[in-house]
Amino acid sequence: MPAHLHPMSEIMEMLVRRGFIWQSFEIYGGMAGFIDYAPLGNGLRRKIEDLWREFFVINERSVEIDTPTVGIEDVFIASGHAEGFTDVAIECSSCGRVFRADHYVKEKLNLEVDPTVEAVKNVVQEFNLKCECGGDFKEPEHINLMFETKIGPGRGKKGYLRPETAQGIFIAFKRLSDYFRNKLPFGVAQIGRAYRNEISPRQGVIRLREFNQAELEFFCHPGEKRHPEFDRYADDVVTLVDKFDKEHRVTLREAVEKGIIAHELLAYFVGKTRRFLLAAGIRDEKLRFRQHKDDERAHYAVDCWDAEVLLSYGWIEVVGIADRSDYDLSRHTQFSREDLSVFVPYDEPVKVKRRRVVPNIPKLGPAFRDRAKKIAEELEKLEDAGDEVVLTINGEEIKVPSEYYEIREVEEEVHGERVVPHVIEPSFGLDRITYAVLEHAFDTDTVDGEERRVLRLERRLAPVQVAVLPLLSRDEFVEEAETIAGELRENGIYTELDITGSIGRRYRRYDEIGTPFCITIDHQTFEDGTVTIRDRDSTSQVRVKKSELVRIIQELLNSGKSITEFGEVFRP
């Protein structure tokens, strides 16, 4: 079906033609699941990243790091991602449906099967297992949704392209905790690529095999899932769809009080995420937060809220805000044997009275010889003891009479406890957000009886911020335009100079790519040193002095101010 029949085709056509996104590997026929960020799309995505940094790094108690996109196998065994791939799948040779073998066997035969190719193969043969459609299954195979690679020459060491940026943060946790001088809570962000070898990439940029994530891992005390700045968003009214599909329009404070959102910290990030998306130009009425159902959550999550945006594809998940509890740190502790806990001091040291068993070493030594040291260690572990203690040392039962130890009442000061932090993770799909911003900004209206297409991007996100347009292509007009464009560029403003085509045609070009302001050099420029600034959304113009142009443009770009605050409205 030609793309133009699809409802979102008009914008897709524009995005490709004007240089926002292109199909990757196009001259070789393309490959599903990969896109090139063309000049304008790359500019837009970078600016969205910068906006994200402002919200989730600069204005959060967070830092940003950057870790490899290739990970060694151990990481993903610990994280649980590798487990998902050792799952065995069976595919029907007639209808083509693919099932997870262990689930299918459990459901049809009520039988637990080891998730190995051999075991599944045996079960399928033994019970002559058929597909629901009656077809035979092909040979069972491993599902593999991570890209596999080899590190080093020859057989190398097995590695995977990361399926999320988060693991790089968890792995560096000890260093990060030290960096924050072991004081919770703190956040660590990472912006970068991640990879999933999707079975069937679809829907333009919505499901890619290589994609851009911005993730924040916010580490907190398990008993203190609050945020000191919750009040900033507590009164924001949000649309929530809970796991029972019940919709709520409530403030975040109410959502926490009523128990719709599990705790304040999740609610805080729901609020912050919403403000970020609105700042990027997502429409509030096309934004909602949906709670994952119990069977929908990832293996690591205990609660999860997705930000969903209404697009021509329907409601699309663009952010996942998950409470990953201590899952990741505990798993990496277990697999790496590194202690990834944090010492949390109490406000006041607590005095604890307890009984201790104190071994009498001088007596133990001669009596028990080479076993004495071990016995002493075991005795110290005991909370209490009677007249005689029976210990098992190296499989040997040893009776230790009370003369070899004494019971003392001691008072100890406990200054704090070691806890494995919990982590709240807002995880952003930047490609989807970038596309959503474009779709929500895309508009048409009528100017002088003609329809025009205009991209109403937030000013600060526009990839081309200013276009300088000489009214005529005569040398003196072009030279003047070059001078002005040069000055804007020296001040860090993304500026295009465009001298071809009629002025109207050029205005349309920049409307279509969302350039908020056009500077026009006309005859009057040479008389009184003024130029006009044209506003994309209203198409109206004001005259300003050349000497003040840079300052005015900068102020316009960093505010929502109207051009009419800066000069006389100009009507040619």
Partner RNA sequence: GCGCGGGUAGUCUAGUGGUAGGACAACGCCCUUCCGAGGCGUUAGCCCGGGUUCAAAUCCCGGCCCGCGCACCA
Task: Find the binding residues for RNA in span 274-333 (CB under 7 A).
Answer: 296-301, 313
State residue 129 phi and psi, 5-degree precision.
Answer: -70, 130
**Which of 227, 432 has the CB closer to RNA?**
432
The residue to which tokens 């048409």 are assigned: 444
Secondary structure element (H or E) that encloses residue 447, with its range: strand 442-447
Would you say 154 or 572 has its CB closer to RNA? Answer: 572
Q: Is 134 in the site for RNA (CB under 7 A)?
A: no
- Computed on alpha carbons and rounded to an integer, the radius of gyration of the chain in Å comes to 32
- Location of structure tokens 């003392």: 408
- Whichever of 162 and 225 has its CB closer to RNA, that residue is 162
Assigned token pair, 367: 């009596």
Q: Quick one: which of 49, 64, 512, 537 contacts RNA (CB under 7 A)?
A: 512
Question: Within 10 A of 514 (CB to CB), how many other CB atoms are there?
Answer: 27
Rounded to a whole number of angstroms, the minimum distance from the CB of residue 379 to RNA is 45
Q: Which two tokens stand for residue 363?
A: 């007596």
Q: Which of residues 14-33 bind RNA (CB under 7 A)?
A: 16-17, 23, 29-33
Q: How far is the CB of 301 from RNA (least distance, A)?
A: 7
For residue 233, the minimal CB distance to RNA (Å) is 26
Q: Toward RNA, which CB reaches closer, 402 or 473? A: 473
Q: What is the closest distance, in whole angstroms, from the C-beta atom of residue 499 to RNA in the complex? A: 8
Q: How far is the CB of 143 from RNA (least distance, A)?
A: 7
Q: How many residues interact with RNA (rule CB under 7 A)?
A: 75
Nearer to RNA, 400 or 462 (CB): 462
Contact segment (CB under 7 A) with RNA among 13-21, 248-256, 329-337, 415-423 equals 13-21
Q: How far is the C-alpha of 520 from the C-alpha of 534, rounded, in Å?
A: 8
Q: How many C-beta atoms lie closer than 10 Å to residue 315's C-beta?
A: 15
CA atoms of 303 and 267, how far apart (whole Å): 12
Helix (H) or strand (E) holding 339: none
Does 145 contact RNA by CB under 7 A? yes
Residue carrying the six token digits 């830092």: 63
Contact region with RNA (CB under 7 A), list: 335-343, 399-407, 424-432, 536-544: 536-544
* CB of 83 vs RNA, minimal distance in Å: 9
Are the C-beta atoms of 502 and 524 separated by less than 8 Å? no
Among 472, 559, 562, 565, binds RNA (CB under 7 A): 472
Burial group, residue 317, by CB count within 10 angstroms (0-12, 13-18, 19+): middle
* Nearer residue to RNA within complex by CB, 96 or 365: 96
| Whether the Cβ atoms of residue 414 and residue 344 lie closer than 8 Å to each other | no
HEC secondary structure over 490-556: HCCCCEEECCCCCHHHHHHHHHHCCCCEEEEECHHHHHHCEEEEEECCCCCEEEEEHHHHHHHHHHH
- In the region spanning residues 359 to 418, those forming contacts with RNA, defined by CB under 7 A, are none
Q: How far is the CB of 490 from RNA (least distance, A)?
A: 24
* Touching RNA, residues 437-466 (CB under 7 A): 447-448, 450-453
Do 332 and 171 form a contact (C-beta atoms < 8 A)? yes
Q: DSSP assignment of 143-207, as one string? A: ---SPEEEESSTT-EEEEE-S-SHHHHHHTHHHHHHHTTT-S-EEEEEEEEEE---SS--TTTTS
Please report, as residue ranges, which positions from 248 to 267 form the binding site for RNA (by CB under 7 A): none
Site for RNA in 86-125 (CB under 7 A): 91, 95-99
Residue choice 408, 474, 551, 561 for contact with RNA (CB under 7 A): 474
Compose the 30-59 pattern: x for residues touching RNA by CB under 7 A, - for all others.
xxxx--------------------------
Please tell me whether residue 355 binds RNA under the rule CB under 7 A: no
Question: CB of residue 204 vs RNA: minimum separation in angstroms?
Answer: 4
Site string for RNA, 177-216 (x = CB under 7 A): -------------------xxxxxxxxx--x---------
Tell me whether residue 397 or residue 451 sits nearer to RNA (CB atom). Answer: 451
- C-beta closer to RNA: residue 404 or 510: 510
